[in-house]
Chains A and B, each alone.
Chain A
């Protein structure tokens, strides 16, 4: 019985082939096999949002998806979002507003916020709070994070 699985996927625009154990999570594969350590591993049961990634353009939990399930998918991590410049405005706004302290939640927070912005989300504080309710930050109290996201939406509108 085979407990490993051959996968081929795209990660941040590059083709990747690997043989992975069945039980390996996508986020562990990215961190440990590909050294893409920007995605963080927090709760490992889909609650904290630190491992939030983009798969085929949708934000997903990297800890609730197996590497084997990513076969044939197009994965973008925070490294990819940063290198392509997609998250540049948001990163600058996070810095400006002190929207991070320890930074553990930040990659997931950025990925989640980008999902909201790219889907045409409004600069509505309640809607933003609801959207990022799946991403835990233990430092900031969220106020500054919401400010940063609002800022980016308002600036890109003009």
Chain B
């Protein structure tokens, strides 16, 4: 189908974009890469009155290193992240996960900020943010604030954004004692995950974020504690019971729970620096 009618706005500055967002009072949506929003509009699942295209906002671009953290502009495309040597070297989990995000043509347009703002429960980026304990810098008319990934994703397509735009993402640089794992199970390469997990291990603590399994990217503190205690994998997997697994046409909740366990086992087997 084609998208319903809307107004297309293309602000030249971040301030102008924020003013437009306020002026449309909930009726407008920011347009980043459009690789999820456009399909949703074509399906008529989303029908914003206006799109505010962020393409011209230089404030949302660029990758820099600040005090042990990599700051990634929200409008950075997946293809740019894959080509960036700083990102590839210092965020090993990105290097592992990015090739799984859709296809070349989608990665050439899709952005990190767009994925996080949409908060699709099956997308990889929100889970990576949780596993990496990243912070999300957002800006509104009242100023800028940084939100930890743990407090950012509130539900299916629901985030802590309040008439705000994501400005940048702050990801801690990986240290030599950290190890990372990633695995996702899909019907075809590039499809949304039926179940997937991103794991970050620092000394004796684990952060394991599952995606494609519930209404949002999800960590299970009991499961992470069991990993840290080096419990038997069977015992670790019993903590998946804490997740309210999704039922849909592709897989019911029982299958999903099993797949989440498989993904975790494979991710743990493939842990590396």
Binding site for B on A (CB under 8 A): 1-3, 5, 21-23, 25, 28, 44-46, 49, 52, 58-61, 63-66, 68-69, 71, 112, 115-116, 129-131, 133-134
Do B34 and A69 touch across chains, with their CB atoms under 8 A apart?
A: yes
The answer to whether B109 and A23 have CB atoms under 8 Å apart is no
Taking CB atoms, residues of chain B closer than 8 Å to A129 are: 189
A127, B27: Cα distance in complex, Å = 43
Nearest chain-B residue to A57 (Cβ)? B108
Q: List 14 A-B contacts (CB under 8 A).
A: A3-B5, A3-B8, A5-B10, A21-B5, A23-B6, A44-B2, A61-B35, A63-B38, A64-B38, A65-B34, A65-B109, A69-B53, A69-B55, A112-B105
From B2, B35, B188, B190, A23 is in contact (CB under 8 Å) with: B2
Q: Looking across the interface, which residue of chain A has its beta carbon closest to that of B190?
A: A133
B108 & A134 in contact (Cβ 8 Å cutoff): no
Say whether B8 contacts A44, CB under 8 Å.
Answer: no
Q: Kindly state whether residue B84 has any CB partner on chain A within 8 Å.
A: no
Starting from the known contacts A45-B39, A59-B104, 4 additional A-B residue pairs (CB-CB under 8 Å) come to: A25-B3, A61-B35, A64-B38, A130-B99
- Tell me how far the C-beta of A68 lies from the nearest C-beta in chain B, rounded to whole angstroms: 5
Count of chain B residues near A, Cβ 8 A? 31
Main secondary structure of the interface of A (DSSP, over half): mixed
Is there an interface contact between B102 and A134, defined as CB atoms closer than 8 Å?
yes
Report the bound CA distance from A3 to B31 in whole Å.
16
B251 within 8 A of A: no
Contact A59 B5, beta carbon cutoff 8 Å: no
Which residues on the B side are within 8 Å of A28 (C-beta)?
2
Give the CA-CA distance A129 to B104 in the complex, in Å. Answer: 12
Q: Which 5 A-B pairs have the closest CB atoms?
A: A134-B103, A45-B39, A22-B8, A58-B108, A133-B189
Known contacts A5-B8, A45-B42, A68-B8; A52 and B105 CB within 8 A of each other: yes
